[in-house]
């Protein structure tokens, strides 16, 4: 009897919420492991473990856990929210992470889910993700996880140059969790590299300089955009950890 009741409830819920509900489905399979012979250097699984990059940042822990049981940290950006010093008007809700030493190799692992994205015709720029890398003196970030106007995720790995260098990472599906493993050898030398894994599959490998300066950089949990983009931008991350 109870099985019939449960089935009926599920049917009613599906009929009621259908395509309007944000899916909680995950495409994550077996958990990826940190690279061999690395150790945990930075635990960024709680909101308090990050510094606030922008004084207007709206970033909080929500009453939910991610696919691996870690706390979910949600960053929400709305129109007019800004503490930016950029010459181009922007809105932001960022967090400041630990340093990335020059010449070091680091790996970040995390789960990620987009909850809300604005509808816009502007292709530049909307940066969303915990794996942004910025130099201490650079006017332009070294690595920028972006979402374009068609709601496709991409990595702008321009090594701090003013020009873009895009790598497409696929269409964003709201409410869907994905697991990432991101490696970087942070240097202006030819031995630099970037590598990105998504749900156990390597989707990106770039060899060559990863910064234009010879100083330490730092990690950011970015959620910022051109102020001409209107609407709400919300991203969840869970289980962010850095190994080296």
Determine which of 27-31, 82-86, 137-141 has the lowest per-residue pLDDT on average: 82-86
Return d(Cα 140, Cα 1) in angstroms, integer: 62
* Segment (H or E) for 60: strand 59-65
pLDDT tens track for 98-139: 999 999 999 999 999 999 999 999 988 899 999 999 998 888
Task: Please report the DSSP string for 161-188 in residue order.
Answer: -SS--EEEEEE--TT-BEEEEEEEE--S
Domain boundaries, the chain: 2-243
Return d(Cα 113, Cα 68) in angstroms, integer: 13
Cβ atoms within 10 Å, residue 222: 28
Residue 27 has pLDDT above 70, yes or no: no
Q: In which residue are the tokens 């709680």 written?
A: 46
Based on DSSP, count helices (H) and strands (E) in the chain, helices before strands. Answer: 1, 16
> What is the predicted pLDDT for the residue at 201?
96
pLDDT tens track for 232-241: 999 999 999 9
- The CATH classification number of 2-243 equals 2.60.120.200
pLDDT tens track for 131-181: 999 998 888 899 999 999 999 999 999 999 888 999 999 999 999 999 999
């Amino acid at each position: 009897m109870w099985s019939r009741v449960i089935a009926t409830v599920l049917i009613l819920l599906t009929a009621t919420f259908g395509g309007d509900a944000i899916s909680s489905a995950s495409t994550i399979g077996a958990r990826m492991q940190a690279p061999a012979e690395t150790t945990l250097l930075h635990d960024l699984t709680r909101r308090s473990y990050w510094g606030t990059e922008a004084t207007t940042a709206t970033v909080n822990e929500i009453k939910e856990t991610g696919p691996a049981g870690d706390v979910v940290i949600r960053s929400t950006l709305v129109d007019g929210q800004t503490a930016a010093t950029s010459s181009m008007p922007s809105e932001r809700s960022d967090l400041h992470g630990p340093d990335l030493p020059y010449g070091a190799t680091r790996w970040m692992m995390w789960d990620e889910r987009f909850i809300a994205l604005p509808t816009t015709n502007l292709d530049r720029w909307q940066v969303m993700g915990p794996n942004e890398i910025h130099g201490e003196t650079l006017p332009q970030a070294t690595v920028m996880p972006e979402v374009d106007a068609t709601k496709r995720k991409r990595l702008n790995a321009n090594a701090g140059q003013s020009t873009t260098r895009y790598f497409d990472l696929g269409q964003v599906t709201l409410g869907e969790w994905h697991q990432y493993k991101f490696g970087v050898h942070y240097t202006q030398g030819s031995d630099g590299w970037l590598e990105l894994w998504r749900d156990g599959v390597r989707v990106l490998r770039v060899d060559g300089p990863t910064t234009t300066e010879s100083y330490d950089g730092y990690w950011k949990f970015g959620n910022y955009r051109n102020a001409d983009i209107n609407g709400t931008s919300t991203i969840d991350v869970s289980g962010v950890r850095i190994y080296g």
